[in-house]
Amino acid sequence: MLSQIIKFIQILSSETAPVQISAGIALSMIPGFSPLFSLHNLLVLLVLLMLRINIAAFMLGLAFFTAFAYLLDPLFHSIGQLVLTQEGLQNFWTELYNSSFWRLTGFNNTIVMGSLLVSLAAFIPGLLLGNFLINHYRNDILVFLNNSRIFKAFKSSKLFTKIIAAAE
Amino acid sequence: MKNIRWGGLIGFIIITAAIAGSFLLFAEPLARSFLQTQLSQLNKAKVDIQAVDIGYSPFSLTITNLQATDASQPMSNMFEVAQVKFSLSLSDLIYKKFIVDDMSLSGIKLNTPRKTSGTIETPKKEKDQKDLLNSLDLPKIALPDIDDILSKEPLTSEKLISELNLDIQNTQKNWQLINQDINDSNRWAQYENLYNTIQKDLKGNFSQKLQAVKSAKKLSKSLKAEAKKIKQARKTINTDISRLNDNFKAAKESPKEDIKRIKEKYSLNNLNAGNITQLLFGNKAAEWVRLAQTTYDRIKPYIGDDDKADEEQQEAPARAGGKNIVFKEYNPKPGFYIRNISVDAITERGRFAGIISDVSSNQSINKQATRFKLSGKDLKHSDMEVIKGELNYIKKTKGFSELVYSITRHQLNDYPISKSSSLPIAIKKSLMDVATKVRLQNGVLAGSSRLNFNDVDFSTKNADKGNNFSRMLANSLEQVQQFYLDIKFSGAIENPKLKINSDLDKKIGTQLKAQLNKRKLAFEKNLKSKIENKIKEPMKKLETELQQLNKIKSKLNAKEKELQTRIASLKKQIRF
C-alpha cells in the first residue's frame, strides 16, 4: 500500500498528463463501488487498457473506493431500489429482465444498480476535481516543496533513498 | 488517436482470454465441487462425485460415479449412479434456471457400502425407536394356579356353609327346647292321671260324673293348648326347615358363584387369542410405513411445491449483496426443471428401468405434474414389479402425491416377521402378490395395500421356549398355507394409522380360540372340582343335621297326631 502511495506521488510529480491520472481515479470508482465481478467492470477494464489512463492511479483508487464502498452499501441499496421500483421505468426494466445479456449484468440487483449510478454520476465531477487538484499540486504545492530547504534536506537524506528504493 | 493504446486492446483480449481459459480449465473441478456442496446440503449427507465432464456444444454435463450417502446410515450410500448425463440450456442458466430436457441415469445401485463416513452433521438421534421386529408382545394366557387361588380367595360357598351350620345349630337348640317343652313327661303324666281319673269318675256316682265332666273340660282345654303349642312348633319348624333347605340349596349352588367370581377376578373371561394379524403384522406394517416416511422425507425436497426455490433474494439484507428485484418474465420457467429422466437401476432384485417426467421446483409455473414409472426387468424373485406415481402440486392447496406399487408372484424366502426371542417367526417361503395405492394430500395419508400370500411355509423356531400362546400360535401357523393382508392407511403422515385385516384371524384364530377354550374349560372343571372337594365334608355334615331336624319334625307330627287322637277320644267320652 505504501509503495502504491509513493508511486502515486511520483506519478503526481511526473510529466504524466493530469487528465490521465484523474481519469484513472474517477474510473476506479465504478469497479470500486460496485461488486467486482459485475459484467460492466469488463468494459471498465477495456476502457482502462485502451485509453491512456494511468493504471497506478486506477489501482490506488480501486483499493480506496472498494474499502469505502462497504460504508456506502446501504446508500447504494436505497438508490438502486428507488430506481428499479420506479413505476414509469417498469416496462423498461422488464424488457431488460427478459434479455439474457442484461440479466448477466445483474442490473436488477439494488447494489449493482445503485453503485453504478453513483459512480457514473460522480465520474465527470471526479475527473474535473482530480484535474484541478493535480494542477494545483504541481503548480503550487510541488513548487513550494521543491524550494523548501527542509524538503531538499529530506530528499538528500538516506531515509528518502530507502523509501524510494522500497517503493521501486 | 494518441490517447488510444492499441496495445491495451491486445492486453484486454489477452486478459479476457486468460479469464475464459482459466474458467474452462477449472470449470470441471469447480462444477464438481459446486455440485457436491449443493447436493450434499440437499441430501443432508455427503454426495461424492468422481468426475464432471462439461461439453460445450451443446452445453452438457456428464457426472461420473455419483454416490449419495444415506443420511441415517453414514457408512452406506442411499444410491450410487454410474453416470448422469444431461444437456443444459445455457440461456436459461443465465437466468439462473436449471432447465434440462433429457437426463439419463444409468447404473443405479441402491444401498451400497461406503469406505468413509458420509455424515456432514451430527446425526440427530432418532426418537427411541426400538427394533419393532425384535419385540412381539404375545398375549399372556397362562392360567393361574388353582391351589394358590383357593388358598387366598375366601369362598362364598364356605361362608354359606359356615352360616348354615350355625343356623342349624341354633335351630336345633330351639327345637330341643320346644321338643322338651312339648314332651314334658311330668305334664303329660298329669294329663294321663287326669285322664285316668276322668275315666274312673265317669263310672262313679253322679257327683263323680259331674266332677269327671269338669275335669274333662279342663283336660280338653289343656290338650287344646298343647295342640296349639305343637301346631305353633310345627309351623316354626316348617319355616326353619324351609329356610335351612333353601340355604342348603344355596350352599350347594355356591361353588358356581365362586367359579364365576374367580373367573372374573382373574380375567379368565377376557382371555382370547386377540387380533392375530395385528399381533403378527402390526409391527411389520409399521416398519413398512416408517420406510415410506423416510423415503418421502428424502424425496420431499425434490417435490415441486416450493415457491421459495424460485424466489430470488427478495429479503436479503443490503450488506449481503443487495436485493434482486424480480420483474415479470415473458416466458416463465421454474428454477429447476427436468422434462425427462430415463432411469436404469440395477438392484439386488433385478434391473429397474423407467421414466421420470416433469421434475420441477415449481409446478405452478410449468403446469405439469411430476410422474414416474419404473418397471422391473429380469427380476430374480418376481414375475413383475411396477412402481408408478404422480406428484401433483400444480395447485398448491390441492396438491397431492400418489403412489401405486404392484408386485406379482414375488418369492419370499426366510422373510422375518418377528425376531422376538419369545417367538421368532419368519415366512420360510411363499409367493406374494402386492397391490398398493397410497395418496398423500395436505399431510394426510389415505390408501390401502393388499398382500396375498400363497404356498406359505411359516418358520417358528424356539416356539417351545415361549409361553403357552407361542406354542399354540406356532402350531396354528404351521397349518396355514395361504392368507391375505388388507392394510388401510389413514391419518397424518407423521403419525399414520394402520388398520390391518386378514383371513389369518379366522384361520389361526379359530384354532387358537378352540385351544384356548379347551384350556379354560379344563381350568373351570378343575376349579369346580377343588371347590366341591373343599365343601364336600361340611355339606355332608349339614345334610346329616338337616336330616336330624327332619326326624324331629316327624316326631312332632306324630306327637300332634297322638294328641289329636286323645282330644277326640276325650270329647267322645265327655258326651256321656
In tens, the pLDDT along A41-57 reads 999 999 998 888 988 88
CA-based radius of gyration for chain A: 20
pLDDT tens string A64-93: 999 888 889 999 999 999 999 999 999 999
Domain count, chain B: 3
Q: Which residue of B has its CA nearest to A78?
A: B318
Neighbours of B505 (CB within 10 A): 21
**Res A8: pLDDT:** 78
Do A111 and B2 make contact, defined as CB atoms within 8 angstroms?
Answer: no
Measured between alpha carbons, how far is B341 from B344 in angstroms, rounded to an integer?
Answer: 10
Q: What percent of chain B has pLDDT over 90?
A: 14
Q: What is the dihedral of CA A40, A43, A44, A48, to 10 degrees?
A: 170
Domain boundary among B336, B367, B392: B392
- Chain A residues within an 8 Å CB radius of B331: 98
Domain membership of residue B512 (yes or no) is no
Do A94 and B9 make contact, defined as CB atoms within 8 angstroms?
Answer: no
Question: Hey, is the C-beta of B320 within 8 angstroms of any chain A C-beta?
Answer: no
Whether B133 and B196 share a structural domain? no
User: Rounded to a whole number, what is the distance in Å from the CA of B324 to chain A's nearest CA?
Assistant: 4
- Chain B residues within an 8 Å CB radius of A112: 322
Whether B374 and B428 share a structural domain? no
Measured between alpha carbons, how far is B463 from B457 in angstroms, rounded to an integer?
Answer: 15
**Res B295: pLDDT:** 73
Res. B334 pLDDT band, cuts 50 70 90: confident
Domain boundary among B323, B357, B392: B392
Angle between helices B185-202 and B504-574 (to 10 degrees): 40
- Chain A residues within an 8 Å CB radius of B321: 35, 109, 111
If you average pLDDT over residues B326-355, what whole number do you get?
Answer: 87
Whether B287 and B412 share a structural domain? yes
**Res B503: pLDDT:** 84
Question: Hey, is the C-beta of B318 within 8 angstroms of any chain A C-beta?
Answer: yes
CATH of the domain at B249: 1.20.1050
Domain extent, residue B198, equals 158-265+523-574
Which of the residues A49, A51, A53, A107 would you substitute to probe the B interface, choosing the one with the greatest number of B C-beta atoms within 10 Å?
Answer: A49
Do B318 and A111 make contact, defined as CB atoms within 8 angstroms?
Answer: yes
Do A35 and B321 make contact, defined as CB atoms within 8 angstroms?
Answer: yes
Predicted TM-score of the model (pTM): 0.61
Whether B244 and B367 share a structural domain? no
Q: Give residue limits of the domains in chain A.
A: 2-167
Whether B552 and B496 share a structural domain? no
Measured between alpha carbons, how far is B242 from B208 in angstroms, rounded to an integer?
Answer: 49
Whether B404 and B487 share a structural domain? yes
Residues A51 and A127: beta-carbon distance below 8 Å: no
Whether B363 and B446 share a structural domain? no
**Res B5: pLDDT:** 82
Q: Is the pLDDT of residue B143 over 70?
A: no
Q: Is the pLDDT of residue B140 over 60?
A: no
Do B327 and A74 make contact, defined as CB atoms within 8 angstroms?
Answer: no
Nearest to A3 by CA among A126, A167, A138, A127: A167
Q: Write out the three cell numbers for B552.
A: 324331629
Which of the residues B1, B3, B19, B319 would you substitute to probe the A interface, choosing the one with the greatest number of A C-beta atoms within 10 Å?
Answer: B3
- A-proximal residues of B, 6-65, CB under 8 Å: 6, 8-9, 11-12, 15-16
Whether B29 and B105 share a structural domain? yes
Residues in chain A: 168
- Selected residue with higher pLDDT from B42 and B15: B15
Mode of pairing for the β-strands spanning B425-441 and B400-418: antiparallel
Q: Write out the three cell numbers for A168.
A: 521501486
Res. B318 pLDDT band, cuts 50 70 90: very low
Whether B388 and B405 share a structural domain? no
Nearest to B451 by CA among B397, B487, B404: B487
Whether B403 and B494 share a structural domain? yes
**Res B267: pLDDT:** 61
Domain membership of residue B297 (yes or no) is no
pLDDT averaged over every residue in chain B: 80
Per residue in B385-401, is it b (16+ CB within 10 Å) or e — as a string?
Answer: bebbbbbbbbeeeebbb
Mode of pairing for the β-strands spanning B98-113 and B336-347: parallel
Do A76 and B322 make contact, defined as CB atoms within 8 angstroms?
Answer: yes
Domain membership of residue B236 (yes or no) is yes
Domain boundary among B337, B360, B392: B392
Burial class (CB in 10 A: 0-12, 13-18, 19+), B133: middle
pLDDT tens string B211-233: 888 888 888 888 888 878 888 88
Write the CA distances from A159 to A8, A165, A167, B499, integer angstroms: 19, 10, 12, 93
**Residue B357: which H helix or E strand, with range?**
strand B350-360
Cβ-Cβ contacts under 8 Å for B303 (sequence gap 6 or more): B370, B391, B393, B401
Q: Which candidate from B5, B12, B331 shows the least CB-CB separation from A52?
A: B5
Domain membership of residue B355 (yes or no) is yes
- Selected residue with higher pLDDT from B549 and A133: A133
Q: Which candidate from A49, A93, A103 shows the least CB-CB separation from B9?
A: A49
Residues B430 and B457: beta-carbon distance below 8 Å: yes
Whether B135 and B183 share a structural domain? no
Sequential DSSP letters for B437-497: EEEEETTEEEEEEEEEEEEEEEEETTGGGS-HHHHHHHHHHTT---EEEEEEEEEETTS-E
Domain membership of residue B427 (yes or no) is yes
Q: Which residue of B has its CA nearest to A109?
A: B324
Residues A51 and A23: beta-carbon distance below 8 Å: yes
Cβ-Cβ contacts under 8 Å for B367 (sequence gap 6 or more): B394
Which of the residues A20, A39, A46 would you substitute to probe the B interface, choosing the one with the greatest number of B C-beta atoms within 10 Å?
Answer: A46
Whether B98 and B39 share a structural domain? yes
Q: Which residue of B has its CA nearest to A19?
A: B3
- Chain A residues within an 8 Å CB radius of B329: 97-98
Nearest to B359 by CA among B330, B397, B389: B389
Domain membership of residue B81 (yes or no) is yes
Neighbours of B310 (CB within 10 A): 20
Domain membership of residue B516 (yes or no) is no
